[in-house]
Structures are given as structure tokens and as C-alpha cells.
Chain A
């Protein structure tokens, strides 16, 4: 075992999950040290793991593979450990062990999914991920977060069941649990596809994301923004690359959330929609499936995790110090939070894919791959969505938070550790943008893509700057949708309204049935049996005599006689005889 660890490292996911158990045992500085050590240990272990199938465990008749290391899983492993490190720094001041433990279990499970070489261990880690993440929402401890967490776990349990059913059917069909390329040609692969699509938030299965993430804790949302969707992107890239359906779903997925993000009031919900939009680019890349597209997908997942976490951290910082995060309640915060504002702007520039920022070197690979394949409509949709990104994430988020109307709030910068976490993420966003080769070197396939051509830089700058120009003109002329306190219904309406009415209706029917059966059986019937059994002889006599003796006569003469034992012996003898006859007949 020791040899094994030295040679092949220890599964990084298990380092997180086992380490999480020890977090509540430590206090103060030691706890912080342990939490910071875990991602470092996991990263070191990751460096030791050789490519191939490591950490095989025998389970019944199957070989479970906990360390499927190759050039597709490694970049996800790197970024998952890096973002865990950043998110932990951001969360250091939180005095709530539940959040820390849940964060590590969640991140560890995402790593487990990434390095799972078989469908069974993939499924186990998949479900652990759902559980860990739910606690990050519950830990906000508000009524809204409790019900959002409930909806969140229900959706993921259902998604998990699709996955499980698909996996069982698949193993039944093929006799193998190995994770390989699949195609949508049987029920089993369709079920697996839907299971992954739920976690990837592919419309119409997307609303859980924008529903739950804004209700999570300040620090929990940073974890959430990184793992569930991106591990689904990874699994999709491993199982369904080149699936044409994904191209269209992905392109649609980039566009739909843009409109919602534009009119959403809660900044973290805007970021949730923008997350769906960005994962759309990745899904499209998986669907295109060429080497350039897969490279682009992985690169974009890598840079996306950093800038999306950065944006969630900036928004979270605002929520942390002001207690507010709605457009209508905040604004003008650059005055007292210049550093947070700057980090938010770096995140916004990265997600908008400005040259010298990370999104520029990764997203363009996917769009380029669409161009290489002469997918005219897809290319137009992706470019349209790119312009949409500048409108909602690039401008709206920083503008309405830090500029715009002055809310009068003069909040201080968040604690130092939060600033450091944002600083690291911001640094990496720019580093990747300036030195894309560092990212390109770890991608699955050799890269001969050059992001910095004059045509690309100028074209992208035009797209973005004239997008901002449009935003500016519409804002000035009053055509821009006003900030208002309202929510917008999305496909979650179907399970939050009619389904809820149905649930209430069914509850009414079933409760009514329950009540009347309770009345009939528990109260009436047993009561009758009880009353009968109290005086069986008297009651039976009454029954038998009922044709000959009138009721009032019976109550007057026979009942007292039976009660006092002054009735003829023969009555008892007759019943004893009857009893024997009954026993004889029955047995």
C-alpha cells in the first residue's frame, strides 16, 4: 500500500473526502492549515499519478478503477484542485464546519467522478457530489435556501436515477462497466445521456442551477459554480464526443440564458444564467467532437471555472459585507470597494473574452472548430451568444453592482483572505490570457491553434466594444430593461406551480381518504368490535332473540339477567355447545 502511494499517488478525491472527516476535530489556525493542506496534497498526488488505469479495487465480479488518468481527465483534475484551494482560502473565515466538510466532500466527489474509470464508481461519486452540494445550499439557513435545496436535491436524485438505470441497462447489454465512447442508439445510453444532461444544466433541464446557486452561502456558491456542471462536461466529453444533438443543444444553451440574465434582478442569479450560457459553449464543443473542439472544451472549462468562481467571489463579497445582492438594492460600490470592483472587472473581461484575458484564448477555439466544420448556423449562434455575454456578464454585473445608481451603501472591502482568493483567481485569468501556451500544453490533443492574430484580436474587440456601445446607447435612451424587483418564470415553473398544485391536490385527496378510512376502520369498526366483545354472550343472545323478543323487552328483562348471572344455565350451555360446533366446523 505504501509502495502504491509512492508510485501512483493516492486518489485525490479520497484525500478530500477522508480529510473532510478530520476538519471538525481541529480548531483555529490548525483547522485552516489542514484545509489548505488538503488541496496541496491532492495536487501533489495528482502529479505522481502515471497515465493509465490506477487504483483498481475488486468489487464483486467487477474491477473498479479509481484512477483513470489520461490527458482528458488530468486537466479537470488540475483545475478542480486549484479551484478548491482558492475556494478554501475564500471560505477560511467561515465558522461553520458543515460548510467546510460539505465543500470538501463535494469537491472530492467531483475529483472522484473525474478519475473514475468505471461506471459504478462514477455513479457513487456522482451521488456524493449531489449530497455534498446540497449542504452548501442548506447551510445558508434561510427559508428560501431550505426550499431551494429541497428542489435541488430532488432534481439531482431524479437525474441520478436516470443515470443509474442507464448504467444498469448498459452493463446488462455489454457486460462491461468501463467508461467508453457511447452513441445514442439504445435506451441505456439515452438514459445515461439524460442523467449527465441534468447535471450539465442543458435546457430544459437547467433551472435547478439558477434556482439553487443564488440561495447558497457566500462561499458555498463558489464551490458550486465549479464542480457539478464541469464534471458533467468532462463525463459528456468522455462518453458522447461528436454527438450531433449536443451541438444544437449547446448552441441553444448559449443563447437562451442570455435573455434571462438581462432582466434578472439578483446578481448571483445573473451569474447562474451566465454559467449555463458558458457551459453551452462547452457542450457545443463536445458535440463537434474534433480535436480542436475537444481541446477548446477542456480549455474553456479550465478558464471558465476560474473566472466564474472569481465573479461569484466578487458578488459573494458584496453580499458578505452589505447583506444585499439585488440590482435594485446595490450600486455605486466602487467608491468603497475598489479592489473587489477591480477583481469583478477582471472576471467580467475574462468571461467576455477580451484579448489578454482567459476567455479569449479558450472560447475562440470552440467557435473556430465550428467554423472549421462549416457549421454556419452554429457559428452565428455562438457569436451572437458571445455578444450576449458582454451585455449581461461583461457589463451588467459590474455596472449595476459597482457603478450605476448610487445606493448610498458605503461598505468596506471584505476580509483579507477573501481578497487574496480573488487575487489569485484574477491573476490566473490574466496569466492564461497572456500565456495561453501554459494551458494549451496540458490539453488532450496537441494544439496548433494561434489565438493572437490581428484579425482575431480586432474582430473580437469590435464585437465587444460595439456591444458595449449598444448597451450604452440603450441605457442612456432608457430602452434598457429597468431594474425592478421581480422574478422571471423559467421551466422550473412546471414543477414549482402545476406540479405543486398537483401535489397539494393529491395530498388533499389522500389525506381525505386517510381520514375517512381512519374514521371507518379505526374508530367505528374497532369501536363496534370492542363494544361487542365486552359482553359477547349478552350481545349474541340479543342478536339471536331479536326476531322473537322486542328490543325494549330485551333491555328490560334479559339484559339485566345476563349481566347479573341470573339467566338460565342453559343459555351458557347452549353457547358453549355452539362454540364447540363452530370450532369443529372451522378446524
Chain B
């Protein structure tokens, strides 16, 4: 019964149950990545450090930093993970 209700509302509002919408979102996302990367070559910059003026510096930095964060977190989990009732 409850599931049925859920499905009814899904048909009305659920944006991302339609793969087309997910695809659209991803297209917008990848396009914006590309634009952001390209636009960087035409911007006049005077950063605090020299590397800030390299085109695409922040893109690479952001990407690499997130990869490092996620892999370090995975590594941390090896040491830190305990059962939920560890302290009980």
C-alpha cells in the first residue's frame, strides 16, 4: 500500500528516476567543466603565488586534492574502522 503511494508520487515529481534527466545534468556538468577550463586562458590574473597564474591550476589542484582526500580517507578507514558497538 505504502509502496504504491510512493510510486504515484514518483511519477509526478521524481526528477532523476528518468535516465534522460540524469544524462542532461551530466551534459551540463561536463560542459561547464570544459568552459571553466577554457575560460581560464583568457583571464588576467595576479595571484599571491606564481602558480596561481598558470591556466588550469585550480582545476588540477581541486581534482588531485579530492582524489587524495578520498584515498587517504580509505586508508584511514583501515586503521580506524570499528564495530558500531565497539564502545558499548
Q: Verify A465–B72 contact, CB threshold 8 A.
A: no
Contact of A458 with B by CB under 8 A: yes
CB distance from A381 to the nearest CB of B (A): 10
Contacts of B39 in A (CB 8 A): 458
Whether B9 contacts A466 by the Cβ 8 Å rule is no
**In contact, B48 and A470 (Cβ under 8 angstroms):** no
Q: Which residues of B have CB within 8 Å of A481? A: 70, 73-74, 77
Q: A437-457 CB contact bits vs B (8 Å, 1 = yes)?
A: 000000000000000001100
Which residues of A from 158 to 215 have beta carbons under 8 Å from B? none
Q: Does A222 contact B (CB under 8 A)?
A: no
Tell me if A410 and B5 are in contact (CB < 8 A): yes
> Is the C-beta of A258 less than 8 angstroms from some C-beta in chain B?
yes
Per-residue contact bits, chain B 37-74, to A (CB 8 Å; 1 contact, 0 not)? 10110011111110010001111111111111111111
Judge whether A465 and B33 touch: CB under 8 Å: yes
Q: Contact: A410 with B59, CB < 8 Å?
A: no
Q: Which residue of B10, B72, B86 is within 8 Å of A335 (Cβ)?
A: B10
A458 adjacent to B43 (CB under 8 Å):
yes
Within residues 402 to 419 of chain A, which ones have a CB less than 8 A from any CB in chain B? 403, 408, 410
Which of B36, B65, B71 makes the CB contact (< 8 A) with A458?
B36
Among A14-22, A305-313, A486-494, the one that faces the other chain is A486-494
Residues of chain B within 8 A of A487, CB atoms compared: 81-84, 86-87
B13 and A338 contact, CB distance less than 8 A: yes
CA distance A210 to B52 in the complex (A): 35
Q: How far is the CA of A563 from the CA of B69 in the complex (A)?
A: 90
**A488 is contacted by which of B3, B37, B57, B77 (Cβ under 8 Å)?**
B77
Choose among A454, A468, A497 the residue that contacts B87 (Cβ–Cβ < 8 A).
Answer: A497
| B14: Cβ under 8 A from any A Cβ | yes
Interface residues of A in 462-507 (CB under 8 A from B): 462-472, 474, 479-481, 484-490, 496-497
Among the stretches A96-104, A117-125, A385-393, the one at the interface with B is A385-393
Residue of A nearest to B16 (CB): A403
The answer to whether B62 touches A489, judged by C-beta atoms less than 8 angstroms apart, is no
Q: Are B76 and A263 in contact (CB under 8 A)?
A: yes
Apart from A263-B77, A388-B66, A455-B43, what 4 extra A-B contacts exist at CB < 8 Å? A263-B74, A458-B40, A479-B70, A487-B86
Which 8 A-B pairs rank lowest in CB-CB distance, beginning with the nearest? A371-B48, A387-B65, A262-B73, A463-B62, A470-B66, A488-B80, A462-B58, A466-B62
**Interface CB pairs A-B, < 8 A, 22:** A262-B73, A334-B15, A335-B6, A335-B14, A374-B48, A387-B66, A388-B69, A391-B70, A410-B6, A410-B9, A462-B36, A465-B29, A465-B62, A466-B58, A466-B62, A474-B70, A480-B70, A488-B77, A488-B80, A489-B80, A490-B80, A497-B87
